Structure 1
Amino acid sequence: MSAAADATATVRRSGREAELLQLPSWCGAAAASLAVCAVWAATTWIALHLRADVTLHTVALFVHLASLVLGLGAVLAIDYYGALWLTGRKTLREVLDFTAPLHVPVWAGLGGLLFSGAFLHPDLSSPLTCVKLGLVLLLSLNGVQASALHQRLAAVDGGPVSRRLMIRGAVTASVSQAAWWGAVAIGFLNSRH
């Protein structure tokens, strides 16, 4: 066997080995979902066990409101561009290019909401507060799924998008909006007590 044939066989073998070592695509989403659940549980634990003084409460309220503006604003922009694509007013490439950088402010806003909310003395005995916490967890897990959807749509790269992916996009946006606005409404109602 020649040196070139040995090198080709080695490359093929290492390529197959790398392929065998590659994790299934769902593993990344599963790990991210577990991380989201862990952060959610940690902030809920903090809310149960820590009492913020007036100054920390005031700072947490400001961070909470700023995080809401940041996160929800980015979500609204993403969903608006998604609607423009679904109605044929933007191409998929335009939408993906515009929305890709917006994932950072969405996650930063959501993280800020979770962390600051733990210092706002949420009444965890209130059914409304428990629903709000459930909505926050739902929108966080939906965000993990939305990131995976973004990658799937990017892989289409100019080709036709299946009806299934379009439906998945519409459901993702609907769940996102319902969870965000539901949490906002409950936060508003809770602030009046």
Structure 2
Amino acid sequence: MAPTSNLPVTAPLPRPAGVPGWAAPADGAATGDAPLTPAWALAALGVLSCAALAAACWLAGHVHADVPLQIAARFLHLVALVVGLGSVLAVDWFAVLWMLGRRRLAEVLRTARTLQGPIWLGLGGLVVTGLFLRPDLESPLTGIKLGLVLAITLNGLYAHRLGQRLDRCGGGRVPRRLRVRSGVAAAVSQLGWWGAGLIGFLNSHS
């Protein structure tokens, strides 16, 4: 199981990413009008994410896949990683260009909105296909990987709130603190995706 970019979003929940979570307002729509997602809703999604990951770990210990199913799951696992990580890289690259003053914020949010589907599809695919790969749940590396998956998901929830605050800035100046927080969210996303992918590679060759 592997993980989620994370620049902020304004799309309706549930959208924890990358940002698997950013979304730009529709063309011509007013920005900054939508209310912030309630903190209790984000907290509830965080608890549900923890429960879902725990359930996935339990299922992984009780699923006994034969060799053909494992081969198919491994291939789909790789496909999910390519789709998810590729989308994350695209969103975060646009975010970097925005921070360097080479893209408008609206462009970044539109890109994130377009790619949020593939990001979450990739994350879900990694978790589901990982159930059939016989993960060693007693391995320290597997434990780290699961921690990264959870960190990516929770970071996506945080990014969702950041995206809403960015949207409220409209075309005006974005406060430095908000820029820093966005950069941290993107860094956590990248570290999580690459770290989980690397651990998955090491586990497959151990």
TM range (shorter): 0.7 to 0.9
- Unaligned runs of 5+ residues in structure 1 are 1-21
Matched, 1:107 2:107: no
Alpha-carbon distance, 1:135 to partner: 0.8
Partner of 1:157: 170
Equivalent-residue separation in structure 1 for 2:187 and 2:37 (angstroms): 28
Partner of 2:199: 186
- Unaligned runs of 5+ residues in structure 2 are 1-34
Alpha-carbon distance, 1:24 to partner: 6.5
Partner of 1:62: 75
Alpha-carbon distance, 1:165 to partner: 0.8
Superposition misfits of 4+ residues, deviation over 6 angstroms: none
Equivalent-residue separation in structure 1 for 2:176 and 2:114 (angstroms): 25
Letter in 2 for 1:186: I
Q: Which residue, out of 119, 129, 146, partners 2:159? A: 146
Instruction: Say which structure is richer in helix.
Output: 1
Provide closer, same or farther for how the CA distance between residues 97 and 36 of structure 1 changes in structure 2, counting only shifts above 3 A. same
1:68-87 to structure 2, matched below 5 A, reads 68-87=81-100
Q: Which residue, out of 47, 50, 66, partners 2:63? A: 50
Letter in 1 for 2:186: A
RMSD (Å), alpha carbons: 1.6
Say which SS state the counterpart of residue 61 (structure 2) adopts. Answer: helix
The percentage of aligned residue pairs carrying the same residue is: 52
Normalising by structure 2, we get a TM-score of 0.79
| Maintained 8 Å contact 2:64/2:134 | yes
Say which SS state the counterpart of residue 183 (structure 2) adopts. Answer: helix
Equivalent-residue separation in structure 1 for 2:172 and 2:40 (angstroms): 26
Which is higher, the Rg of structure 1 or of structure 2? Answer: 1
Provide closer, same or farther for how the CA distance between residues 90 and 24 of structure 1 changes in structure 2, counting only shifts above 3 A. closer
Alpha-carbon distance, 1:28 to partner: 2.5
Matched, 1:176 2:189: yes
Ranked by relative contact order (alpha carbons within 8 Å, sequence separation 6 or more), the top structure is 2
- Equivalent residues, number: 172
Normalising by structure 1, we get a TM-score of 0.84
Partner of 1:116: 129
